[in-house]
Structure 1
Amino acid sequence: MKKSYPMAMVNTPGKIDFEEQILKEPSADQVLIKTRAVSICGSDLHTFKGEHPFAHLPAALGHELSGEVVAVGGAVRRLKVGDRVALEPIIPCGQCVFCQKGTYNLCVNLSFHHRQGQGAFTPFFVVDEKWLHKLPKSVSFEESALLEPLAVAVHAVQKAPITLGSTVAIFGAGAVGLMVLVLSRLAGAGETFAMDVQEFRLMAAREMGASFALANQGKKTVEDILHMADGLGVDVAFEVAGKQMTVVQSLQVLRKGGHAILVGLNPEPEITVPSNIFVQKEISLSGSQGYCWDFQTALTLVEGGSIDLSRFISHRISFDSLQEGFDLLTRPGGRANKVVVLFE
């Protein structure tokens, strides 16, 4: 095994650099993983462009990882060499009031491996055993690299009051938005509306069962949804785009007593919303932060065949082509939704 390996970094916006890392033996509770697949996340794109509100350059990239265990520390009991695993890339403190309550996604000291200098776009990854999920043989490495965004979607949908026949609107038809669409239908949603500004994403939404896939044209789109939803609006709206316009739209399309869930991370620290609408329509707005005990649910859904993660992958590239993958996702007309980086 090599004594060093490259890890992807962003030192200047728009450029991937590879920096050599020293290969370390795992400590007592840690596991060394040989990376097999990593998918590019929307937050990676924000970091790549130098626009992430919480990640300042230079920064490591990548957290949606699957791989194979190649070494274990002396205290590791649940995993062994050769096991196939997926990473839950979150580091809560375990001590604050929210961690003690079990809501570790709300940890006041929450961190991530890539925020601590260890990105996933690298051939090897060292991590505590407790943040690894053992994979069944029926789930591929590339599918497993999408378990993290699926867990995000699971958490969001489980926060929503969706019942049999509920009408649901989703603003943003990227990978997570499409997963929210599929999960909403699994949860019993009736008519579903998917909105985006990219036609190729709307095509994907139609293929995945959206009742209506609409090019987002601002006020007109709100009027169209209200008209198609019997003039009343939808029961639940998900905002997955992270834009002021779509946040406001998610409120405007709700029927009285409806509920909006914010999933997308907005790069702007403050946005303006029409406050009177909350009183006049008695609507509710809540946020959905990452995932909390949702990884296993996501894995169970994939293993049981309820959701096929391979459908969300638009491109597969090699580690050596990582710059090309990020360029594909950020340039106009790239027509890429979810890009998975495969390792030998």
Structure 2
Amino acid sequence: MTVLVTGGAGYIGSHMVWKLLDRNEQVVVIDDLSTGHAWAVPDGVAFVHADVADKSALDRIFSEHQIDAVFHFAGAIIVPESVEFPLKYYRENASKTGALIDHAIERRIAHFIYSSSAAVYGAPGMDPVTEAAPCAPESPYGTSKLVTEWMLRDVAAANPAFRYAALRYFNVAGADPDMRSGQSSRVSTHLIKIAAEAAVGKRDGVSIFGDDFPTPDGTCVRDYIHVSDLVEAHYQALVHLRAGGPSIIANCGYGSGYSVRQVIEAVKAVSGVDFEAIIGPRRPGDAAMIVADSTLARTVLNWSPQLDDLETIIRHALEWERRLAEQGPKTPSDQDSQVCPENSI
């Protein structure tokens, strides 16, 4: 059998592909390369350059490969952009995913693993946050993820043979310890990625959006999870579903939070490089604090994180960033824009 990975040329998706190959799975990737890179897809993996809602491309994939599971990573992920362009996020994250689910049902695909987000919680007022917390997203990004979870719930109820796992990510960072893949976004929006860029001289410094939040140092607090641990949780979700386990929604985080200031200082300490951090105003959509309770993933999915250490996450991110700096952009279009870090999920 073969696993389809949407967005498999992107940051998390490419790590998932490597994880599946490490577990001797057959893999096919579909990606429109709007944010991903063809070079991030490992040699020998079938790759289709198309939009995830392209019915003709999906027909070809499902006809040529015996797909038994879909890992869905494709989508738009920038919280502040979603506030400015909400319809883009409902289209990319909800409408297109609906089309993909519809195709999966038509082709009788039994297992669907979905890339959700802790942004579905909004500001839950619970520390740490369990899956039982009320969902009240504060951005169209979070709402688009929640709407998709509802679609999966309702489709599974109507189709007993279809089961899913929706994994709610907290803040993903780091790179493959073997340096086979890493965060290579054209537009950098995540704090550890941007701080690593500053440490290697790619940018002059970083911006902190708000220092008046109700947190110990006034800056947002987040739960940072290593990308390799995250994709292992996805693989364990596939094992769970293949074994006949029921559909599940589970948090993926470590249960410990770090503020924006703490992360910046940690990057400076690990890299040995000082750089400027400029305080700016808050942005819409940013919650003050959100930290995961991942008990469900650890018990039901038998997920056991191996890289639960901020210094390790930063060290791997820095090593990948240094490699990118040494090699230069793969193509002229691969150069990152100078944008500021995303405090949210």
Indicate the structure with greater helix content: 2
Sort the TM-score into its range (normalised by shorter chain).
0.3 to 0.5
Looking at both structures, which has the greater relative contact order when contacts are Cα pairs under 8 Å and sequence separation is at least 6? 2
Which structure has the larger Rg? Answer: 1
TM-score, length-scaled by structure 1? 0.35
TM-score, length-scaled by structure 2? 0.35
